[in-house]
A and B are shown apart, each in its own frame.
Chain A
Amino acid sequence: GAGVSQSPSNKVTEKGKDVELRCDPISGHTALYWYRQSLGQGLEFLIYFQGNSAPDKSGLPSDRFSAERTGGSVSTLTIQRTQQEDSAVYLCASSPRQGPQETQYFGPGTRLLVL
């Protein structure tokens, strides 16, 4: 079946502009995660959605970052007033449900470059 998809695959933007990154999780998966992979910080957690519960935003690095998940499916990560340090690969993952034993399936990522 279809895996996690993300768009765009690559995004180049100018400093100060806003960007939106999209994630389509595997159909039926209730848990959705965003991670960031950067040279300086490695792979780090950003935000988590589970069903209709309030998201866990504990990993968001600043208030310029926000995310939403509409209808319990598609999620959008928005970065406002982008900075050069936001350049990274943004990875989305989904799992059938929340729980430590659940496998998280990752999308191919969106590579963001802020000039």
Chain B
Amino acid sequence: AQSVTQLGSHVSVSEGALVLLRCNYSSSVPPYLFWYVQYPNQGLQLLLKYTSAATLVKGINGFEAEFKKSETSFHLTKPSAHMSDAAEYFCAVIDYSSASKIIFGSGTRLSIRP
């Protein structure tokens, strides 16, 4: 079975600082991994996805994530935080043993300090 664990329910960084949101996965098969973002009172938007083509995945809004099999990690980073990045971020994995449903992590709320 697949699962993801997000470390830190709340992360706060200063504007312009590095953003690092942590995600570790558990999977008995090669995983398909995703990061979604949810802005206040909005639906989920795909930031990026890993489908085994390349270990470093670039997404929208300057975010990227690196798949590290040895560490079973898929951390999300952005070199310089912007106020508009304040949102909740979900790491997710596909459970393709069952209808390809998404299994979400518990989420990390990112706050940006001026």
Contact = CB atoms under 8 A, between A and B. Distances in A.
Contact of B49 (A50, A103, A107, A109): A103
A43 B96 contact: no
Interface residues of B, number: 22
Q: Chain A interface: which size bin?
A: 20 to 34
Contacts, number: 58
A80 B105 CA distance: 29
A91 B49 CA distance: 20
Interface stretch (B11-19, B39-47, B67-75, B79-87): B39-47
Contacts of B32: 100-101
A50 B99 contact: yes
A98 B100 contact: yes
Nearest to A46: B101
A59 B90 contact: no
A50 B99 CA distance: 9
B27 to A, nearest CB: 11
B77 interface: no
Interface of B: 32, 36, 42-46, 49, 51, 90, 94, 96, 98-107
